[in-house]
């Protein structure tokens, strides 16, 4: 059976392009031939398809280099039954402004845009289209659909969506920062962890007791083991309180990571393992290996250390 993969759509989003890239980079996904793609209207809807077994995997954006973590994805990852991340990919991000026909910048009264996108080009939009009103769309591709349907003058969108929905490009390569990128993850039901590559990322969520020093003592478990944290986020829970979502450099099969997760599990009110998977653009320092100390422990166990 070919895998069914849901993605945050509709067709033409960066997430769909990220899915293409994930399929190229992870040949195990296409072993059975082409995959079935299912477009979903939000990161939450994408992960619902996975949780309900209607998709084997879901592709969602998780972190922008400009805007930070994608809250809609973080909340969807922890809401409902446990899901696990198996792979990631990174796309360089630059936007296209497109309209039904070529028009002057001064004639653009409304721009349809996905808020995560408009936040990334705030300065560019203010500089080039100071009088235009930004209207909310449900994704970058939905912005192009909104303009095709006459709901706004121009769309902040992707080059692919502009083509798909028959729009004319007014401006391309829009970005406030030239190195803007977004990381996307492939999420499925819990399963065996992908093998350690030496350049991996591990993600967990933690609920900690609401007492002074709680977060600091949790972080101590990483610090004393020389584990490099690459992201930490706190998100409110609807029922009250907060949870923390954090990424570290390393794999569950790196002894320092396994030890730290075990120690945190003993401290946390609740803890969820979101996965260990190969980093697409490795950053940070992998945890130290324990080979020498493991050899020493084995030798004293066997009475061979003299």
Binding site for ligand PRE (CB under 6 A): 8, 13-15, 61, 64, 70, 93, 114, 116-117, 120, 139-141, 158, 182
Rounded Cα–Cα distance for residues 246 and 230 (Å): 8
Q: What angle do CA 235, 209, 243 make, to 5 degrees?
A: 15
C-alpha torsion angle, residues 158, 160, 161, 163 (rounded to 10): 130
- Report which secondary-structure segment, H or E, holds 206: strand 200-207
Q: Measured from the CB atom, is 231 or 267 closer to ligand PRE?
A: 231
Q: Are 187 and 74 in contact (CB under 8 A)?
A: no
Q: Measured from the CB atom, is 160 or 248 closer to ligand PRE?
A: 160
Q: Measured from the CB atom, is 152 or 227 closer to ligand PRE?
A: 152
Rounded Cα–Cα distance for residues 120 and 276 (Å): 28
Q: Measured from the CB atom, is 71 or 236 closer to ligand PRE?
A: 71
CB atoms within 10 A of CB 10: 20
Q: Are 64 and 70 in contact (CB under 8 A)?
A: yes
Residues 6 or more apart whose Cβ sits within 8 Å of residue 160? 12, 16, 17, 141
> Minimum distance from CB of 197 to ligand PRE (Å)?
25
> Minimum distance from CB of 72 to ligand PRE (Å)?
7
- In order of 13, 200, 287, 303, the CA distances from 258 in angstroms are 36, 13, 11, 26
Q: Are 80 and 43 in contact (CB under 8 A)?
A: no
> Minimum distance from CB of 16 to ligand PRE (Å)?
7
Q: Measured from the CB atom, is 13 or 124 closer to ligand PRE?
A: 13
> Minimum distance from CB of 182 to ligand PRE (Å)?
4
> Minimum distance from CB of 64 to ligand PRE (Å)?
5
> Minimum distance from CB of 15 to ligand PRE (Å)?
4
Q: Measured from the CB atom, is 15 or 194 closer to ligand PRE?
A: 15
């Amino acid at each position: 059976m070919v895998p069914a993969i849901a993605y945050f759509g509709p067709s033409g989003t960066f997430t769909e392009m990220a899915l293409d890239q994930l399929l190229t980079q992870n040949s195990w996904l296409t072993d059975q031939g082409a995959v079935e793609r299912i477009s979903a209207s939000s990161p939450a809807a994408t992960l619902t398809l996975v949780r309900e077994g209607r998709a084997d995997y879901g592709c969602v954006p998780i972190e922008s280099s400009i805007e930070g973590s994608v809250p809609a994805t973080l909340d969807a990852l922890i809401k409902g039954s446990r899901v696990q991340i198996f792979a990631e990919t990174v796309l360089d991000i630059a936007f296209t402004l497109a309209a039904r026909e070529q028009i002057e910048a001064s004639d653009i009264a409304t721009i349809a845009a996905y808020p995560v996108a408009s936040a990334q080009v705030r300065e560019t939009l203010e500089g080039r289209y100071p009088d235009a009103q930004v209207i909310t769309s449900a994704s970058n591709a939905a912005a192009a659909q909104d303009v095709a349907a006459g709901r706004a003058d121009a769309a902040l969108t992707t080059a692919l969506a502009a083509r798909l929905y028959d729009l004319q490009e007014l401006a391309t390569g829009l970005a406030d920062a030239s190195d803007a990128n977004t990381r996307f993850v492939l999420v499925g039901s819990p399963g065996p962890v992908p093998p350690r590559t030496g350049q991996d990322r591990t993600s967990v969520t933690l609920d900690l007791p609401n007492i002074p020093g709680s977060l600091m003592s949790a972080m101590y478990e990483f610090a004393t083991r020389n584990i490099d944290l690459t992201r930490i986020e706190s998100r409110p829970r609807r029922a009250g309180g907060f949870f923390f979502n954090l990424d570290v450099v390393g794999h569950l099969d790196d002894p320092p990571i396994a030890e730290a997760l075990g120690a945190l599990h003993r401290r946390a009110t609740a803890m969820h393992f979101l996965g260990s998977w190969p980093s697409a653009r490795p950053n940070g320092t992998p945890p130290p290996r324990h080979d020498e100390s493991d050899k020493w422990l084995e030798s004293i166990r066997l009475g061979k250390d003299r």
